[in-house]
Amino acid sequence: MEEIVSLHDVVKNYGQGKVITKALRGIDLKIFKGDFSVMMGPSGCGKSTLLNIIGGLDRATSGDVKFNGKDFNILSNKALSIMRRQHIGFVFQNYNLLPVLTAYENAEYVLMLQGVEPTKRREKVMHLFQEMELDGLEKRYPRELSGGQQQRVAIARAVATEPQLVLADEITANVDSKTAQSLLELMVTLNKNNNTTFLFSTHDPAVIKFAKKIIILKDGMINSEKASSEEIEQFTHK
């Protein structure tokens, strides 16, 4: 299997002097192409911190973080930004859509940053909007969309550049169960048809049932990559 992400002995500390918070304590993790993996654990266990480090949004205090064999630790901030833009997609709990842009413009934005020419941008975005049942909503602003529609636009934006990895942080938290199921089925389809690799952080059992691999995080450490039913019950909400 093709390895996309490799973490070895990753530590993340916050604070300085005598007041240090240890968010991650020696994480070892590998993510392979085509994975549909879910991270779970109690609030404050380091899930979001780990996603941010894997996605290059934050840097580890120590340890090795590699993406496609490239060491994040030696990349400049500019090089890291380019790596993120070209290879990693993000879907956030609160959608993070730009309120001054329409749904279409939000999804198109990352393609503009990559310098994709307008005709190809339009072709790509319109295809995604059809796939995600957003037809007719192209000119609406985020405030004019439901939570589920906003999250679909966010997913379209995340996958528009055909990234190698999509990181999704509690993406079903602000939508109803029916919408959550629909979003997850959409992402499963992207995983199967395009071999898009997904890594989720969640408490939602609806996400977990789709997982190919479940990673349990506790006290900043990976407790298990083969979760028992008791562990799943402990860290999910109904």
pLDDT digits (tens, 9 = 90+) for 177-227: 888 888 899 889 989 988 899 999 998 888 888 999 999 999 999 987 655
Helix, strand counts (H, E) of the chain: 8, 10
User: Any idea where the domains of the chain sit in the sequence?
Assistant: 3-100+144-235
d(C-alpha 51, C-alpha 144), whole Å: 30
Residue 94 has pLDDT above 90, yes or no: no
Task: Give the residue-averaged pLDDT of 139-168.
Answer: 94
Please state which of the four CATH numbers 1.25.40.850, 3.40.50.300, 3.40.50.1820, 3.40.190.180 is assigned to the domain occupying 3-100+144-235. Answer: 3.40.50.300
Top-confidence residue, 43 or 237: 43
pLDDT number for residue 238: 45
Confirm whether pTM is higher than 0.75. yes
Percent of the chain with pLDDT over 90: 70
**How crowded is residue 37: how many other Cβ atoms within 10 Å of its Cβ?**
17
Give pLDDT tens digits for 37-57: 999 998 889 999 999 999 999
